[in-house]
Amino acid sequence: MITFEEGLKHVLESAFETGTETVSFLASAGRVLAADVISDIDMPPFNKTAVDGYACRVLDLGKPLKVLEVINAGKQPVNIVTDGTCSKIMTGAPVPEGADFVFMVEDAESIADGRVRFTGKSRKDNIARFGEDVRNGDMVLTRGRLIRPQDIAVMASVGCTLVQVKQMPRAGIISTGSELVEPSSRPGKSQIRNSNAYQLLAQCERAGATGRYYGIAIDDEAVTLNMLSRALEENDVVILTGGVSAGDYDFVPAVLENAGVKILFDSMAVQPGRPTTFGVHSSALVFGLPGNPVSSFIQFELLVKPLFMKMMQCEWKPVQWELPLAEDFRRKNSIRTGWLPVIITAKGKVRPVEYHGSAHISALPDADGIMMVQAGISSIKAGTKVYVRQI
């Protein structure tokens, strides 16, 4: 049995890099940027007003000013602002030549002869200066980042309509166990619906990978080996659930070895997920995850997702918090590092959800994260800060 840290090290050191492809920037959200994005313009491309108001000379503040014209966004100014004059201007419009200050409409007083006067106190000029945000040739987005909607706005502003991204890892999903039936079937006696495969497919999608489901492998080594061999040929990563414990029908490790998979570990000092197995094949990396749904969910988040990110060369770090515990915590078994589903209260404290063990699938939907409890620790006092990882 190895530690979780040792297991994660084995997994990440086994990662190989995916290729790249070019996609429309509209389709790039959630992908990993494979090349830097460079601006082809200065931003702002001209001195523009940040408010609706009047463009004038700062020397003329407080004087009655003649309005020369109205400048809408997208319109080029016609007149030069000089002593005793101003131009009415709308947000985003170019500041006219001669003006070095824009005062807001709210700070303008209308005078009977049609002139206006500044009556405010703020000396903020309200002008976004040419090139103050970005210069032509500047790097605006760096490769390795997970693309978010706000990044797409940046791409649009610099004309990057085609973007290079890392190819998504291909993941094959196999559920093992003769007791399983598909969700569309009503389970008979001694049967349960297959939830793991669909949970893992959704986790793959959220982690930036493409998941492919190969079905249920019944408790037969030849059937399992045949399904595994096909998945190894067609994917970068293969994930099996179930069949990795020590029962008479838990033969996944043996099937992996028969398929040419070199097993790097088959037991970790974690709870849940002790029998988690990982190995390498000439064409793919392979995980054997426990059949209990909470175990498979958590070990995917802890091991598989970081692997996907490493394969895409993503500069990703899991969202994590250090927050105080809302109530005393105790556990019976402290030999292994524990990961427990928790909620974060409105007061920013951590409270474990009602949790009956790794088969308690309904414990996860209400959880905000998983709390780590180090091996050897059996109790934690309320108020103690604990590590929580977002799920």
Q: Is 190 exposed, middle or buried (0-12, 13-18, 19+ CB in 10 A)?
A: exposed
What is the chain's mean pLDDT, rounded? 94
CATH superfamily, with its number, for domain 20-43+135-166: Molybdopterin biosynthesis moea protein, domain 2 (3.90.105.10)
pLDDT, tens digit (0-9, with 9 covering 90-100), for 137-177: 999 999 999 999 999 999 999 999 999 999 999 999 999 99
Statement: residue 258 has pLDDT above 70: yes
- What is the spatial distance between Cα 205 and Cα 305, in angstroms, rounded to a whole number? 10
User: Mean pLDDT, to the nearest integer, of 278-301?
Assistant: 95
Percent of the chain with pLDDT over 90: 88
CATH superfamily, with its number, for domain 320-390: MoeA, C-terminal, domain IV (2.40.340.10)
Contact (CB, 8 A) for 388 and 301: no
User: Mean pLDDT, to the nearest integer, of 87-98?
Assistant: 98
Question: 4-17+168-311 in CATH: which number?
Answer: 3.40.980.10
- Domain 48-128 classification at class level: mainly beta
pLDDT band at 253 (very low <50, low <70, confident <90, very high): confident
| Strands annotated E in 296-378 | 320-324, 329-330, 337-344, 350-352, 369-373
User: Mean pLDDT, to the nearest integer, of 326-338?
Assistant: 92
pLDDT of residue 355: 79
pLDDT of residue 251: 77
pLDDT band at 356 (very low <50, low <70, confident <90, very high): confident
Total-model pTM: 0.89
